[in-house]
Amino acid sequence: MSDFGLIDLGRVSEATTAASSFRTRPFEKTIAVDVGASSTKAEISRGGFALPEIAVLPEGIGSFLDDLVVVQTKVVTQTIVAGTAVAVGTAIDVVLAQTNDLPVAVIPGIHQAFAGATMAQVHQQFVDVPEVRDILRTKTSVSDLTADDVASLTTVLEGQGITLGTGSGETVGSAFTAIQAAFTFQG
């Protein structure tokens, strides 16, 4: 692992982009990260064993990566809640997953109609429905839904044959929870 002080991520990106066309869009601005007066060393491990830094030829790796299909992964869990300030050196375990096949049922409080579906299937079911997209863009929780939002969602859901009720796993709110999760993991 190399020690570093001040990193100019914009220049790193430009150098990487010049070496390969893997990155499809360069950073829009330069971001300087000052990690302090003392040197900082990243310690990355897998299964409790340290992973060494392996030098690669940028031109070689770039041409190799250009031929690969990009697999989109998302952080699905982490040991420290996102947005929490932590002390330097704090270990944070993250789990990355390709979310296309992630079952919607891993999300608590979803509508039963989505229990057997994957995130990709639910996303595809609603991605072209403007009423749903508009609600998801402006609302972050069930409690944010207005009466008009509930009416719009009810119309869309019933139009797709989804039965709504007042019981657990039957409400518009539980459907919103499932759809929101699918758009978050697939977006």
- Dihedral (C-alpha) 53, 89, 50, 68: value to the nearest 10 degrees? -50
pLDDT at position 16, please?
45
| 84 domain-assigned | no
> Per residue in 36-52, pLDDT tens?
556 666 677 766 766 66
Q: Has residue 78 been placed in a domain? A: no
Structural domain ending residue among the three candidates 46, 68, 90: 68
Residue 11 lies in a domain: yes
Burial of residue 169 (number of CB atoms within 10 Å: 0-12, 13-18, 19+):
middle
The secondary structure element, H or E, covering residue 76 is: strand 74-78
Residue 3, pLDDT > 50, answer no
173: in domain: yes
* 104 and 180 housed in the same domain: yes
What is the pLDDT confidence band of residue 29, given thresholds at 50, 70 and 90?
Answer: low
Between 167 and 26, the higher pLDDT residue: 167
Section 80-97 average pLDDT: 84
pLDDT at 34: 59
Tell me whether residue 30 is in a domain.
yes
Please give the structure tokens belonging to residue 140: 């972050």
Residues 60 and 122 in one domain: no
Q: Are residues 60 and 124 in the same domain?
A: no
Q: Are residues 43 and 120 in the same domain?
A: no
pLDDT of 72 > 80? The answer is: no
Are 58 and 7 contained in the same domain?
A: yes
Q: Looking at the domain assignment, is residue 81 inside a domain?
A: no
Question: What do you get for the CA distance between the two ends of the chain, in Å?
Answer: 33
**Do 113 and 160 fall into the same domain?**
yes
Domain boundaries, position 40: 1-68
| Complete DSSP assignment for 105-140 | GGSTT--GGGTT-BHHHHHHHHTT-HHHHHHHHH--
pTM summary value = 0.58
Checking if the pLDDT of 22 tops 60, the result is no
Q: Decide if pLDDT at 107 tops 80.
A: yes
Task: Determine contact, residues 95/77, Cβ cutoff 8 Å.
Answer: yes
Interval 113-163: pLDDT, tens: 999 999 899 999 998 999 999 998 888 889 999 999 999 999 999 999 999
> Count of domains in the chain?
2
- Decide: helix, strand or coil at residue 29: coil
